[in-house]
Amino acid sequence: MPREHYSELLALIAVARERSFTRAAAQLGISQSMLSHTIRGLEARLGVRLLTRTTRSVSVTEAGERLLRVVAPRLKDIESELRHVAELSETAAGTIRITATEHAIDTLLWPKLSEILPAYPKIKVELNSDYALTDIVQGRYDFGVRLGDGLTRDSSAVRIAPDLQFAIVGAPSYFASRAMPDKPQDLANHECINLRLPTRGNLYAWELKKSQSESNVRVEGQLVFNGIYQILNAALSGFGLAYVPEDLARPHLESGRLLPVMKSWWRKFPGYHLYYSNQHEISRAMQILIEALRYRK
């Protein structure tokens, strides 16, 4: 296959996956104009339109879908074999792409990776902050990070953290003129700061548990964010109650900037797991990261 044909197909796969010329160009490390020129050249050579472009989105045509169904898996096999051959060398190398929430990245992944990466200068790591629970195969990620109860059956997983407790908290200023709630039903009378999950397109219901009683509460409030850190900051400013990882709230609880709310209803979840597709060949670089991140009591 001529080199330019290989590059054209890789460009098409990137645009189809990202649904955006801007994001695909950034991922490929080329300019958007060069990427557009490459796609137009492929379409002109084949005599058929492969992508439908609008001012806001990019979609794949029927002809494009047919081409991708055949070509994408074969290119993936080629890349896998090249990676396998590279692993025969003594030095671990390659790019590892990981999708995780900002909380997992900031409190877990980066602290551990920053310790081991200096010993492996040829391993490159891309960390993508994402609450969308992205499909790692479709997104071409090597790893994803999720809580243990969110794993799928078609993946393998390694526990990388202890159980994670979520806490309901509020600032003292918020309670200056409000009574402290003591049961889930009381939350209907409070300003609660919501989290929107991109994949589901709706607001996250607070998952609470007290002994054997469980309650998923749809809360209301003035503010909605798509990140935990923004929710925490809003709570610190007195805008309402927040449902956040307890480890994030702990310093502010200890200093008195936040107050614990309905502590008997705080719920623990199975800790973060590093997961990967069962169809993904595990490279030496991936093995190094797995062992570095593996949770050891």
Q: What is the pLDDT of residue 5?
A: 67
Same domain, 111 and 194: no
Same domain, 238 and 174: yes
Orientation angle between helical segments 32-46 and 21-28, nearest 10 degrees: 100
Given a cut of 50, the residues of the chain with pLDDT beneath it are 1
Same domain, 151 and 284: yes
CB 212 within 8 A of CB 221: no
Q: What is the pLDDT of residue 18?
A: 82
Same domain, 287 and 216: no
Same domain, 182 and 264: yes
Q: What is the pLDDT of residue 21?
A: 85
Q: Which domain holds residue 14?
A: 3-86
Same domain, 225 and 215: yes
Q: What is the pLDDT of residue 257?
A: 98
Q: What is the pLDDT of residue 67?
A: 84
Residue that is last in its domain, among 86, 112, 138: 86
pLDDT digits (tens, 9 = 90+) for 7-42: 888 888 888 888 888 888 887 778 888 888 888 888
Same domain, 242 and 172: yes
Same domain, 158 and 278: yes
pLDDT digits (tens, 9 = 90+) for 38-50: 888 888 888 888 8
Same domain, 10 and 51: yes
Give pTM, 2 decimals.
0.68
Name the residue type at position 58.
Answer: V
Query: Into how many domains does the chain fold?
Result: 3
Same domain, 147 and 173: no
3-class SS string, the chain = CCHHHHHHHHHHHHHHHHCCHHHHHHHHCCCHHHHHHHHHHHHHHHCCCCEEECCCCEEECHHHHHHHHHHHHHHHHHHHHHHHHHCCCCCCCEEEEEEECHHHHHHHHHHHHHHHHHHCCCEEEEEEECCCCCCCCCCCCCEEEEEHHHCCCCEEEEECCCCEEEEEEECCCHHHCCCCCCCHHHHHHCCECEEEECCCCEECCEEEEECCEEEEECCCCCCEECCHHHHHHHHHCCCCEEEEEHHHHHHHHHHCCCEEECHHHCEEECCEEEEEECCCCCCHHHHHHHHHHCCCC
Q: What angle do CA 213, 218, 221 make, to 5 degrees?
A: 135
The CATH number of whichever domain residue 123 belongs to comes to: 3.40.190.10
Q: What is the pLDDT of residue 33?
A: 86
d(CA 141, CA 68): 18
End-to-end CA distance of the chain: 51
Backbone angles phi, psi at 243, to 5 degrees: -115, 105
Q: What is the pLDDT of residue 135?
A: 77
Same domain, 128 and 58: no
Same domain, 276 and 143: yes
CB 10 within 8 A of CB 20: no
The CATH number of whichever domain residue 198 belongs to comes to: 3.40.190.290
Residue that is last in its domain, among 86, 102, 132: 86
